[in-house]
Structure 1
Amino acid sequence: MAALSAEAIRRVCQLQREEGRQCLRELLRWEEFDDVRDLRRSIELDCLYSSVVFAMEKGLPWPAAAEAGKLTEELLNEIKGVSSPWELPPAACCSPLFLIANQKRGRQRCSTGLKRDKLAACEPKLSPFNPQVLCDYFCNTLIRHYPLYQFVLCRERDAEQTTAYLEICVPPQPLPLMAGVNAEVWQYQQQLAALSAAEAQKRTDMLLLRETLHLEREHMLQRVYDDLKSREEILDRQVLETLMKEVVGTQIQALREILQTEIQTTFEILELRLQKKVLTLNPPVPYPPPPSLEDRAKKAAKAQQQKKKK
Structure 2
Amino acid sequence: MLAKANSGGPTSDPKQLSVDDLPATRYGGMAYVSAIRGHKTIGSACLCKVNTSRHISIRPQAFVMLYRVLPSTKAMWLTLKKPEGREHLRRLLNWEEFDELRDSRRSILLDTLYESIIFAVGKGFPWGEVAQVVKFTEELLKETKGCSVTEAVTILGNKLRDHQGQFNTTHLLALCDYFHNTFIRHYKLYQYVLGQDRDVNLTVTNLEVCMPPQPLPLAEGKDREVWKHEQQLEGLSTAEVQKRTHMLLLKGALRLEQQHLLRETFSRLPGRQHQTLNREELEKLINEAIHIQIECLKELLQYEIQITFDILDLKLQKKTLNLKAPIPPLVPIAGQSGQDEALKLSKTNKGKKAKAKK
1:213 equivalent to 2:213? Answer no
Which secondary structure state, in structure 2, belongs to the residue aligned with residue 28 of structure 1? coil
In 2 relative to 1, CA 153–298 (structure 1 residues): closer, same or farther, beyond 3 Å? closer
How many angstroms does 1:257 deviate by? 3.0
1:177 equivalent to 2:218? Answer yes
Choose between structure 1 and 2 for higher RCO, CA contacts under 8 A separated by at least 6 residues: 2
**1:286 counterpart (316, 325, 328):** 328
In 2 relative to 1, CA 262–233 (structure 1 residues): closer, same or farther, beyond 3 Å? closer
Size of the alignment, in residue pairs? 268
1:76 equivalent to 2:138? Answer no
**2:187 counterpart (137, 146, 169):** 146
Q: Distance in 1 between matches of 2:182 and 2:231?
A: 67
Map of 1:263 onto structure 2:
305
Residues 206 and 265, structure 1, Cα contact 8 Å, conserved in 2? yes
- Identical residues among aligned pairs (%): 43
Q: Distance in 1 between matches of 2:87 and 2:282?
A: 95
Higher helix share: 1
1:296 equivalent to 2:296? Answer no
How many angstroms does 1:202 deviate by? 1.5
Q: Structure 1: give runs of 5+ residues left out of the alignment.
A: 104-114, 300-310
Task: Name the amino acid aligned to 1:46.
Answer: D
Q: Distance in 2 between matches of 1:247 and 1:17?
A: 95
RMSD between superposed Cα atoms in Å:
5.4
Which secondary structure state, in structure 2, belongs to the residue aligned with residue 287 of structure 1? coil
Task: Name the amino acid aligned to 2:231.
Answer: Q
How many angstroms does 1:201 deviate by? 1.9
Map of 1:34 onto structure 2:
101
In 2 relative to 1, CA 53–87 (structure 1 residues): closer, same or farther, beyond 3 Å? closer
Map of 1:276 onto structure 2:
318
Q: Distance in 2 between matches of 1:24 and 1:131?
A: 23
Residues 254 and 296, structure 2, Cα contact 8 Å, conserved in 1? yes
How many angstroms does 1:60 deviate by? 5.7
User: What whole-Å deviation, never above 9, does each CA across 1:260-296 have from its counterpart, x for those lacking one?
Assistant: 2222112111111122122223432333488897873
Q: Distance in 1 between matches of 2:239 and 2:341?
A: 45
Q: TM-score, normalised by structure 1?
A: 0.59
Q: Distance in 2 between matches of 1:178 and 1:70?
A: 67
Q: Distance in 2 between matches of 1:29 and 1:45?
A: 12
**2:111 counterpart (46, 68, 86):** 46
Which secondary structure state, in structure 1, belongs to the residue aligned with residue 326 of structure 2? coil
Task: Name the amino acid aligned to 1:71.
Answer: F
How many angstroms does 1:176 deviate by? 3.2
Residues 85 and 146, structure 1, Cα contact 8 Å, conserved in 2? no
How many angstroms does 1:192 deviate by? 1.8
Which secondary structure state, in structure 2, belongs to the residue aligned with residue 81 of structure 1? coil
Residues 153 and 184, structure 2, Cα contact 8 Å, conserved in 1? no
Map of 1:194 onto structure 2:
235
Equivalent runs, 1:225-240 vs 2, <5 Å = 228=267, 237=277
In 2 relative to 1, CA 205–33 (structure 1 residues): closer, same or farther, beyond 3 Å? farther
Residues 85 and 143, structure 1, Cα contact 8 Å, conserved in 2? no
Residues 332 and 338, structure 2, Cα contact 8 Å, conserved in 1? no
Which secondary structure state, in structure 1, belongs to the residue aligned with residue 327 of structure 2? coil
In 2 relative to 1, CA 74–183 (structure 1 residues): closer, same or farther, beyond 3 Å? same
Residues 229 and 325, structure 2, Cα contact 8 Å, conserved in 1? yes
Residues 184 and 284, structure 1, Cα contact 8 Å, conserved in 2? yes
